[in-house]
Amino acid sequence: MADFNKILPPGNVDGGMVNVVNEIPAGNNHKIEWNRKLGAFQLDRVEPAIFAKPTNYGFIPQTLDEDGDELDVLLITEQPLATGVFLEAKIIGVMKFVDDGEVDDKIVCVPADDRNNGNAYNSLADLPQQLIKQIEFHFNHYKALKKPGSTKVGHWGDIEEAKAVIKESIERWNKQA
C-alpha cells in the first residue's frame, strides 16, 4: 500500500481545500487508524455500537496535531466512504477538542466535488444544528463507558481558525520530517 504521507500533499489550505484520507466510514464503530510506520490501516479497537462515528473520520496527510497523530477530519457526506478513499475536501470549520488532556482538534470538511450536498455547505452555520449536536455529543461521550470525563469539545471555530490549525500541523510535520 502506498504511504499517503509521502505521496499525497496536504492540499491548498489558503484556497480552502485539503486532501483527506478516510479512515472510518460514517456509522461504523470500528476505530480504524492509519499506521504510518507500516503504511497500512489498522483496527485499533472496536467501540460500543452506540458510539458509531456520526460522520466519516479521516486525516490530512503530511500534518501532525499536538497529540502526535495526523490532523483529524470530520468529513460530512450523505453516504459513508470506505476506508482508504482519498479526496479533495472543502474546509468549513474546526471542532476544538481535548482527549485525555491532549489537543486533538477535528477539521470539518465536505467533499469539494459534492454538487448535490457539499456545495450547499460553505461554513459550519450551513450544517443542520442537529448534526452539530450529534457530533458534539458523540465526542463528549464516546469514551464514557471506559474513562468518563476524558474527552471534551471546547468550541467550534470558523474556516480561518481551521486553516490556522492546519498550517500549524503542517509546520509540526515538516519539523519532524
d(CA 74, CA 57): 5
Binding site for Mg(2+): residue ranges?
67, 72, 104
Binding site: residue ranges?
31, 45, 57, 67, 72, 104, 142
- Residue 175 cell numbers, joined: 519539523
Q: Which residue's C-alpha cell is 470525563? A: 149
- Residue 41 cell numbers, joined: 490501516
Binding site for substrate: residue ranges?
31, 45, 57, 142
Question: CA 13, 78, 109 angle in degrees (round to 5)?
Answer: 15
Residue 112 in contact with residue 17, Cβ under 8 Å? yes
Residue 78 in contact with residue 25, Cβ under 8 Å? no
